[in-house]
Structure 1
């Protein structure tokens, strides 16, 4: 049985080095992740510079994660600085082949450090930070193109061996995946176009593990808006973070759920346990 955690951390630098109240809450979440003792930890929106973790970051990470190696990718020349970015930490017993995928997405998305993939003998593990459709849906067309490119990429991996895909997909797939669907049909993350894009991914041969395990349970979310102080208190959230697996290994999943992040708003970590 292997254990996975995925979390949009919204600035690894802040979580490791800041003294703000939010950073302290982030560190408490990291402690919860470490206590869970996963084999793999996927982080999105690390917001590190193009050169990656600094010496200070590495020293803190070595102290926090002594049993893990890590790989990272950041936004680089041609894209915004210290933007997006992903990282995967994995137990030192593993020796994966690491790739930073280029999926021919609209510029500059392939330069923003949005994806990492680890290859093992029996499966791929890939993480993604999906582009947001933007204020006023000004990037909806580019987002639609990304979704198609990403779906094709996952399908190409799946043709070789089973896939475990995780991350912040920036879409609530069904009306039960957010608290207030009626008022959000024209909001980024819940447009018909984005939902269709996610359906297309699933139709390529993938399973939303949370729904596979829990069915149509309602009121379970992974993200609560920071700008609305009562969003988490009122559980006015969205489920936009996922673990997807190739259909042929879906019945190997034993757990797919959210980790409690306490009072911290924004994203909460999600976990997967699978016999692979």
Structure 2
């Protein structure tokens, strides 16, 4: 429920880690559920997004939500919705990353959301046996896209940037989950809180972390000891379409911290 906390960066690097790092080699699908499509550009790279999605008129997650409409601009009119799944990379050992990209027009779905919240989970149910892990990168605001994510997911991971007002989104997420479970009779777990974009600015960050830990304890939510660091190499990696461990000139200690968090998260969800 708060923008600018590094959701897309975290999601992308989790995907690459579990598919490609030694001792994991999982089959991973990333679903970009944000109309700003940052995860799509990060994972595909800006140039490949233009050629493989836009220029190729490939279906996106927007087509999944609008499959029962005739909105102009949809790409799946004469194609299968499964064409929205793009293979990003194959790793030695059998791991791979697939992606369902997003596009700006997904925002049009928010203007007419009726009877669309189940469409993503229905689609995923048909393909989920091909994956060990499915990651859904969400938009920061409550909408039909949030409901669609809850219907699709077993658990949510909450990234928190440790700064002033960082705790404001947590009660909103808790209320959102409560309202969803009451309406749809489905429980969605919280796999934990991830302190993201940590810059080691001790006075402010430490106070924020203390507040988040206290609130999370009251909610019964796990807080990871491992943290995701702040690094200028993340935007560089996004430009290159590469994970942190392949980004040019990325510091090894940054990659090590990312791997440590990913491993902890994998253990937490029983991956």
> Normalising by structure 1, what TM-score?
0.40
Larger Rg: 2
Q: Which structure has more helix as a fraction of its residues?
A: 2
Structure having the higher strand fraction is 1
TM-score normalised according to structure 2 size: 0.40
Q: Which has the higher contact order (CA 8 A, sep 6+)?
A: 2
